[in-house]
Amino acid sequence: MFLPRALVALGAVLGLAACSSRPPPRLSVELTARATAKAGVVGLVVHDRARADRLRAIYLEVVSLSREIDHARLTARAQCSNDLERRAASAAASDPIASGVLGCSIAPPLTDRAALDRYTRLMLEARSLLTQREFEKLARVR
């Protein structure tokens, strides 16, 4: 009696998880996943050691790029929160809109832009090192 109930419960949990409205991961997670998947197997696709090594380095740089941005963002977030809280506590600076502090809390576009530019450069360099056939084989990895 217990087993069927347990299976039903398990099914319900899995069903709920599958139907969850939780959104898909952010771009950085996807970029990291794509780069990580390719970094490991690039040696099986590109047999020329020098090219394979550089490509692996490029994919690993994409992973570290995400990490660096995480760190920068967490630091910026802490800084903004602290500034905002400090100003909110002060009666003189009660207008966060006029003070421009609110803008600080919205991610500085330039940071992401620079990261995206760096990512683009890496991806374009990867293309220059790959033949179309190799590229397509790696693209199928993830």
Which residues, numbered 71-110, are part of the site for another protein (CB under 8 A)? Answer: 71, 73-78, 80-82, 84-85, 88, 96-97, 102-103, 105-107, 109
What is the smallest separation between the CB atom of 58 and another protein, expressed in angstroms? 12
Which residues in 40-59 contact another protein (CB under 8 A)?
40-45, 47, 49, 52
Q: What backbone phi and psi angles, to 5 degrees, belong to 92?
A: -65, -35
- The answer to whether residues 111 and 77 touch, using CB atoms and an 8 Å cutoff, is no
Nearer to another protein, 11 or 81 (CB): 81
Closest CA to 122 of 18, 31, 1, 2: 31
Q: How far is the CB of 31 from another protein (least distance, A)?
A: 7
The answer to whether the beta carbons of residues 36 and 63 sit under 8 Å apart is yes
List of long-range contacts for 101-110, beta carbons under 8 Å, 24+ apart: 104/79, 104/80, 105/80, 105/81, 107/73, 107/76, 108/76
Rule CB under 8 A: say whether 27 interacts with another protein.
yes
Using rule CB under 8 A, residue 129 touches another protein? no
Shortest distance, CB of residue 16 to another protein, whole angstroms?
14
Tell me whether residue 11 or residue 85 sits nearer to another protein (CB atom). Answer: 85
List the one residue from 51, 54, 63, 99 that touches another protein (CB under 8 A): 63
Closer to another protein by Cβ: residue 54 or 141? 141
Q: 21: which DSSP letter? A: -
